[in-house]
Amino acid sequence: MKKIFGSLLLALSMAHGSNIALNRPLADVVVRDRGELVLNGDSIQYKVWDSKSLAGKVRIVQHIAGRKKVKAENQPLMDRIVAAHFDESKYQTTNIINVDDAIMGTGLFVRGETKKAKREHPNSQVVMDNDGVVQKAWGLKKQESLIVVLDKTGKVRFVHEGKLSNAQIQDVMDLAKKLQQE
């Protein structure tokens, strides 16, 4: 009976789509096409991004489809993070933009907005994923956003796909503050 119940829970979690589990690291994924944006003076260069690099600091990871509507869903959280002025030696925001999940013909605009975001927030990690490899590796829904809080060891402490409620935004902020003190 226990085995059947466990299998049912696994099936339900897989039906949800995401393969992200609390207290475990995110599935390993490498973004080779574009990847992490690196600011060099006023120019932007790209380097291969590997999810293994997420360990070492507390992070709020945002993965978004390259769509204006999806970006706006959790902008209130991003605004709260900026206003909090977290200690950069202990915390970093990671934004992963899935250009593969942009509206047909808007990829150039999405790439431009991604570069603009890196320039506006140079201390944030910004990753441009042209092929949607992160979305596939983590089993995420298309046309959606994801918020994950990682502790400094890289383990997931909070995960939510879709728009956060005001209470969830507060939970994320409180958790990020708490984890930085550990």
**Per-residue pLDDT tens for 67-79?**
888 889 999 999 9
Q: What is the pLDDT of residue 45?
A: 94
Q: Phi and psi dihedrals of 26, rounded to 5?
A: -65, 150
Task: Establish if 51 belongs to a structural domain.
Answer: yes
Of 71-75, 102-106, 133-137, 139-143, give the lowest mean pLDDT range.
102-106
User: Does a structural domain hold residue 3?
Assistant: no
pLDDT above 70: percentage of residues in the chain: 90
How many separate domains does the chain show?
1
> What is the pTM for the complete model shown?
0.86
User: Is residue 2 in a domain?
Assistant: no
Q: Give the pLDDT score at 157.
A: 97
Angle at 148 between CA 90 and CA 135, to 5 degrees: 125
Residue 10 lies in a domain: no
Work out whether strand 58-65 and strand 145-150 pair parallel, antiparallel, or are unpaired. Answer: antiparallel
pLDDT at residue 37, as a whole number: 93
Q: Which residue, among 177, 175, 180, has the nearest Cα to 22 in the 3D structure?
A: 175
* Mean pLDDT value of segment 54-70: 93
Mean pLDDT over each residue of the chain, to the nearest integer: 88
Does residue 12 surpass a pLDDT of 60?
no
CATH number at residue 127: 3.40.30.10
Write out the residue range of the structural domain in which residue 150 sits.
Answer: 24-180
d(CA 73, CA 64): 9
Q: Of 6-20, 53-67, 81-95, 162-176, which range is least confident?
A: 6-20
Distance CA 85, CA 12 (A): 38
pLDDT-above-90 percentage for the chain = 70
Is residue 151 in a domain? yes
Question: Euclidean distance between the first and final Cα of the chain, in Å?
Answer: 39
Asked whether 163 and 180 are in contact (CB, 8 A), the reply is no
Does residue 17 sit within a domain? no
Structure confidence at residue 17 (pLDDT): 52
In a domain, 83, yes or no: yes
107-141 burial, b if ≥16 CB within 10 A, otherwise e? eeebbeebbebbeeeeebbbbbbbebbbbebbebe
Residue 171 clears pLDDT 70, i.e. is over it: yes
In a domain, 18, yes or no: no
